[in-house]
């Protein structure tokens, strides 16, 4: 595995199980030995200490309250970009194709835009590709980090580390509209062909960020 920093962060962003807590000493050792994490070592050490100071039930309840019950903290990247729009599904298909093209397979219950899944993928590709994809996604990562920090969540330290690993400076993210099909039909109606607004076909490539700014960010990575 080429990029251990992404695997380290991915595991800690997952729902905490007993195995994760038992392995915290191993995370401590890895933190001291992974060069890419050196700049963020102090806040990451505080995160590990904080994790170790709570019992498993407390950690699980906090995780659910933080990420599952608060939509602004959701770790599903495209939710922050596309909301319930049709483009979210199209973007996930594109990302899934990216995974499959490099032999990366998801678990049965995993969605491709789940941040720990993306990080696990970045851990298994070459550094150049990993940096490119992280640079594309960093705007959303920073958006979630800000929300977590405002709520004094210790998980903000993990996302702050991801931001420091990105070759691209994050830009402010315009929050995706929240609307369901009934609301969209009432607001926009169907098109001339009678197609519902959230079901219109999309031909976009992977979009971690709204079109214009996404293209600007992508050029920054290539430069």
Cross-strand partners of 76: 114
- Decide if pLDDT at 66 tops 80: yes
Interatomic CA distance for residues 2 and 36, integer angstroms: 12
Residue 31 and residue 8 in contact, taking contact as beta carbons nearer than 8 Å = yes
pLDDT per residue as tens digits for the range 149-164: 999 999 999 999 999 9
Looking at residue 214, its pLDDT comes to: 33
pLDDT per residue as tens digits for the range 102-144: 889 887 678 888 999 999 999 999 999 999 999 989 999 999 9
Residue 32: pLDDT band by 50, 70, 90 thresholds?
Answer: very high
Q: Which domains does the chain have, with CATH numbers?
A: 4-222 (1.10.3480)
Residue 87 and residue 113 in contact, taking contact as beta carbons nearer than 8 Å = no
Contacts (Cβ under 8 Å, ≥6 apart) of 39: 164
């Amino acid at each position: 595995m080429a990029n251990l920093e992404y695997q380290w962060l991915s595991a800690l962003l997952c729902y905490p199980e007993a195995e994760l807590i038992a392995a915290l000493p191993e995370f401590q050792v890895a933190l001291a030995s992974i060069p890419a994490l050196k700049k963020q070592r102090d806040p990451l050490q505080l995160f590990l200490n904080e994790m170790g100071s709570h019992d498993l039930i407390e950690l699980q309840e906090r995780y659910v309250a933080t990420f599952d019950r608060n939509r602004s903290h959701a770790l599903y990247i495209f939710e922050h970009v596309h909301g319930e729009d049709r483009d979210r599904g199209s973007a996930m298909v594109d990302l899934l194709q990216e995974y499959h093209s490099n032999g990366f397979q998801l678990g049965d219950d995993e969605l491709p835009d789940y941040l720990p899944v993306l990080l696990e993928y970045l851990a298994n590709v070459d550094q150049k590709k990993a940096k490119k994809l992280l640079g594309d996604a960093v705007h959303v990562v920073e958006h979630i980090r800000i929300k977590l920090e405002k709520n004094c969540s210790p998980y903000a330290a993990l996302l702050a580390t991801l931001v420091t690993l990105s070759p691209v400076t994050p830009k402010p993210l315009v929050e995706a509209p929240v609307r369901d099909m009934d609301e969209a039909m009432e607001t926009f109606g169907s098109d001339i062909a009678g197609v519902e607004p959230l079901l219109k076909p999309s031909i976009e490539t992977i979009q971690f960020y709204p079109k214009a700014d996404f293209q600007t960010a992508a050029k920054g990575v290539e430069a």
